Structure 1
Amino acid sequence: MKDLPSPLSSLRSGWVPEGRPFHHLGSPPLRVWVWTAATLVLVVVAAVLWRNSDAAATDSTTTAPADAPTGAPAGAVSEVWSVSGDPRTADVVEGGRVLAGSDHGVRALDPATGEEAWRYTRGNAWLCGLTVTDGVVVAVFRTEDRCDEAVGLHAGTGVRAWTRNVNFRSDMTLSSTDRIVLAHSPTGIVTLDPTGNNIRWRYAPPSGCELLGSDAGDAGVAVLERCAGSRVLQLRLLDGFDGSAHWTRDLTLSDAEDAELLGADLLVGVRTGDEVELRSAADGALLTTLAATATAEGAARQSAIDGAVLVSAGGTLTAVEPGSGRRLWEAAATGLPGEPVSDDDRPRLTVPDSQGFAHRDAATGEELDRSVASGVPAGGTATTVGGTVVLRLPDGVRAYR
């Protein structure tokens, strides 16, 4: 038998048994360790960045557009669902959805069932303001000290329309009208395009003055401001698209009076003390006044429909002709109607009152029919969506069927 070389002599001579290739033993080269360490660092950094990113903190869903609402509210209705909390937006019905704000975002609900259709929430940011116009929900978020991120979402589906960075104060509020989103703070206002996301113009009050209120409407953007130590307020109407001044009026208050801007649709409305003043959009001239004595029905409020300004105050809803200030009709009410519903080319308003909801002819105020309901809170805005009446309140939303 042939002697085999010893292992030591084999290593020295380079001999290995047939079919068994020899591999030198030892540590991997330094470059392998460097590559491995770098890869691990990148994985850890990526995980940390993702965990702290806006994408990881965003919880969003989308849905198909809502079907066109059908039917009409019954003769007797009761509450079928509700959402508590500040809804944030003045108009909660858009695109066949009911919009409800929260501390971290917005949800869109089915009007009939209250079930969630879509949502957009940010776990790492706080909602500063929410509004809806032209089919787009505009939400502004605060990530640190200022409200610095805005997003536009299609109201019917929740699909993102746009995002942009902004630089607003943390106490800002949002409102809107057709093609205008208005961001308000005591030191100034900014207007945005809701569909194109660009900032149009800014306005700051004169030095030593602060904004008491602002509102965007088809008449323009109205601002009410007070200068330090003065009982004279200035009411201005600015152009909604370029910010140029249309007119300025001085309002003199007694020591016991306060003032509140109500709206800028068709007429500019201001509550001064226990009266509502409605002023011409053309030159600011006073056209008419309405009593605004505080009652259980809530504070004075203003809206508009085609051909009329609507004012809810002191338990009465008054329709005013915008050209002359003439009163068109009056009806008992505990709040405002929302958008009218067309019925055989006869627009109908859903007016909340002490007995439930009166469905009235928008042109004449005639009661066409009624949905009786008990315990309807005062101070809301009622909008009919198919067979559901949606009531927007300062502290939540309720639906009646």
Structure 2
Amino acid sequence: MLRWVAATAIGAVVLSLLWTGSDYANTSLRTAAGEPSQPVEGEPASRVTMAWEADTGPAGLGPVQDHTVVVGEDHGLRGLDPITGVERWHYLRSTALLCDWTAADGVVVAVFRTDAGCNEALALDAGTGQREWYRNVNFAAEISMSSTNQLTVAATPTGVTVLGTTSNGLRWRYDPPENCRISDTVPGDVGVAVTLDCASSASLVLLDGFTGEQRWSGTLPAGAARILTADGVVGVLARDLTGSLQVFDRDGVELVALRDPSLVADEVVQPAAQLLGDRLAVFTGSTLFAVNVQTDAIEWFVPALNLLTLLGSGLLVFDGTDFVQHDLVTGAELRRITVDGPVPPTGGRLDRLGSAIVVSTVEAIAVYR
């Protein structure tokens, strides 16, 4: 009898230790009570102030999904109400570190690191925090996550892995040619664009988003380059002092080839671009300029410390003092929105949720109303 009691007690202790050390016991999941409320549509007021701000951790840009602002931190993710900044949901793991995350299609896909490396991926509903799927992965520590319609891309210098965003299926993998490393990867509606730094050359490759097959390749100037966009066109800006900009259509035809020192991007900022009709609006970190992809001509420059968002028929930027709406065709100032109090963080992007302006960088998020 005593032996049975002792064995039972030992078994209980072992089970308790196993439970305490398990991933389940060290995971805190709080889901929202319901779907997020849709903000009332409207233009920003003529004067705005910071409604709330929050730090964010390992993250790409683009935290606004399903009327929710998603922020990352060392051990997980939180979904915040865009109006109040109050937490709606969270997914936190005390024994794992967040490697990176991305969001699209109303889904947040995150990769966590345990003792075995960046080896666990999961997806959460952006509006409620409910878990959509989970799978084991094998990614390097320098993983960079990005996403577009139905595709989640995990990239490292030695390869690209593409998963489904709304399902955990593996779509395809891409390995660079021998003696080449991947320097940048951006997905978009034309495919997944990849820049390669090879022993004797640099090149741009466009891969089919759903099959991974190479659609075309183009030659780039030697040196570091960043992909600006893969939506509508593929734009690439050199990171050296030459100010080299190249734009290709979805079939690989070069539309723009410019070299101008005024196009140089800031070292500490991720340059980006958005195609609007025939104009590619390019953000360099300190300026926004429009290049006509049909005429290969730069049409205007304006100061901008954050990537644009749309406002009515114009573009909204932050110029270091105020939010400013510019005409898409001429770049002329249409409206100035005065910022009272703390100014927004710079170097990130702008989004709009109803009449609110969301400013996000890789370190902080602030909402202005």
SS at structure 2 position matched to 1:98 = strand
Instruction: Write the letter of the residue equivalent to 1:259.
Output: A
Amino acid across the alignment from 1:280: D
1:199 to 163, 167, 170: 170
Give the conservation status (yes or no) of the 8 Å contact 1:391–1:399.
yes
RMSD (Å), alpha carbons: 2.6
2:363 maps to 395
For residues 173 and 331 of structure 1, what CA distance do their matches in structure 2 show?
30
Cα shift at 1:86:
3.6
Match of residue 151 from structure 2 = 180
Which residue, 206, 221, 239 being the options, matches 2:192? 221
Superposition deviation, residue 308 in structure 1: 5.0
Q: Which has the higher strand share?
A: 2
| Secondary structure class of the residue paired with 1:378 | coil
CA gap of 1:135–1:293, structure 2 versus 1, over 3 A, is same
Aligned pair partner of 2:229 in 263, 286, 311: 263
One of 342, 345, 350 as aligned partner of 2:316: 350
Unaligned runs of 5+ in 1: 1-31
Aligned to 1:67: 37
The unaligned stretches of length 5 or more in structure 2 are: none
1:247 to 208, 212, 216: 216
Whether the 8 Å CA contact 1:297–1:315 is kept in 2: the answer is: no
- The two structures have a TM-score, normalised by structure 1, of 0.82
Contact 1:280 1:287 in 2 (8 A): no
Contact 1:279-1:288 at 8 Å conserved across structures: no
Structure 1: distance between partners of 2:3 and 2:276:
71
Larger Rg: 1
Find the aligned partners of 1:37 and 1:325 in 2 and give their Cα distance. Answer: 82
> Match of 1:335, SS?
coil
Q: Deviations over 1:56-84 (max 9, x none)?
A: 11111111111110144221112232222
Mean Cα deviation higher: 315-324 or 146-155: 315-324
Deviation at 1:286, TM superposition (A): 4.3
Instruction: Give the equivalent residue in structure 2 for 1:46.
Output: 15
Name the counterpart of 1:379. Answer: 347
Supply the distance in 2 between the matched residues of 1:46 and 1:297 (Cα, whole angstroms).
49
| 2:70 partner letter | L
> Counterpart amino acid of 1:372?
T
Q: Distance in 1 between matches of 2:67 and 2:244?
A: 36
Aligned partners of 2:57 and 2:74 also within 8 Å: no
Question: Structure 2: how far apart are the matches of 1:67 and 1:328?
Answer: 40
- Aligned counterparts of 1:284 and 1:307: Cα–Cα separation in 2: 15
Whole-angstrom distance in 2 between the partners of 1:295 and 1:121: 34
Report if aligned partners of 1:176, 1:216 keep a CA contact under 8 Å in 2. Answer: yes
- Secondary structure of 1:78's match? strand
Rounded to whole Å, the distance in 2 between the matches of 1:295 and 1:235 is 21
**Aligned residue in 1 for 2:121:** 150
Residues in 2 aligned to 1:100 and 1:138: alpha-carbon distance in whole angstroms = 12
Task: Please give the alpha-carbon distance, in whole angstroms, between the structure 2 residues aligned to 1:103 and 1:130.
Answer: 11
Task: Give the 3 Å change call, closer, same or farther, for CA 36–301 of structure 1 in structure 2.
Answer: same
Partner-residue secondary structure (3-state), 1:131: strand
1:119 equivalent among 69, 87, 90? 90
Report the equivalent of 2:254: 285
Matched, 1:131 2:102: yes
In structure 1, what is the Cα distance between the partners aligned to 2:331 and 2:64?
23
Q: Does structure 2 retain, via aligned residues, the 8 Å contact 1:293–1:314?
A: no
Instruction: State the shift of 1:366 in Å.
Output: 6.3
- The percentage of aligned residue pairs carrying the same residue is 38
Determine the C-alpha separation between the residues in 2 that align with 1:246 and 1:112. 43
Partner amino acid, structure 2, of 1:382: L
Q: Report deviation, 1:166.
A: 0.8
Against the structure 1 CA distance between its residues 295 and 245, is the aligned structure 2 distance closer, same or farther, given a 3 Å change threshold? Answer: closer
